[in-house]
Chains A and B, each alone.
Chain A
């Protein structure tokens, strides 16, 4: 069910539109991302429009989803159930933000930027996947 042809086609088209959006918006350019984060220096506010545009359109999608009992190609919506604001959320987000600032890449744009064929992007993505795997192993042990 979850890996049926419509699910696969949806994921592919959705990934392509997401990647197009990242490319068009300038998010795959680390120097621009760092320029956006450089509020104490020569601040480039243009990337605020990326988040703004994305959140407004996604808000409409979420509003429609709340009127539906289930998505088109699955039996139920798979939404995060956690509500608590804990140390893990804050520490994890802070570590992520530090890495984001150092390289100017977050996960989506880094993967999209693999299309550019630069060795630096491959290095970053490999380290990122290693970080993901390391976390999941560590979290599996402490739980």
Chain B
């Protein structure tokens, strides 16, 4: 049960960040959209400092905790490339990812986002089930 508390607190911070960006700047904190706009050279100032803030997050967390946050990557490089391409292409095609559809979209009770979340969660769990079933 204790391992749920950092996850819940972390989730609430994400919700706070999204609320803040909405109420102050009037923007949706959707990361794939922010990456897309940065790549197109649109709103460079706000989008680049948001991305910088994302990267500072684990550094501040690590300094406060006295050790770097845990992160274990077991995926091979070729599969990481395939996965990265799918995540980038797919999240833009579907107009959002876990943040834009998952957090803001569900919070706005958007039917489109509900469909997106059910679709990517299903695809994700089928993929993990397949990978762990084929390569246990």
Cα A3 to Cα B131 in complex, Å, equals: 44
Closest to B122 in A: A97
Closest to B46 in A: A11
Main secondary structure of the interface of A (DSSP, over half): helix
How many inter-chain residue pairs (CB < 8 Å) link A and B?
494
Min CB distance A68 to B, Å, is 7
Contact between chains at B22 and A65 (CB < 8 Å): yes
Closest to A5 in B: B45
Cα A50 to Cα B112 in complex, Å, equals: 21
Interface residues on A, range: 35 or more
Give A residues with C-beta under 8 Å from B. 2-3, 6-8, 10-32, 34, 37-41, 46-47, 49-62, 64-65, 68, 70-74, 76-80, 82-85, 88-108, 110-116, 118, 120-121, 123-136, 139
Give B residues with C-beta under 8 Å from A. 3-4, 6-29, 31-32, 35-36, 39-40, 43, 45-47, 49-62, 68-75, 77, 79-95, 97-99, 101-104, 106-108, 110-112, 115-117, 119-129, 131-133
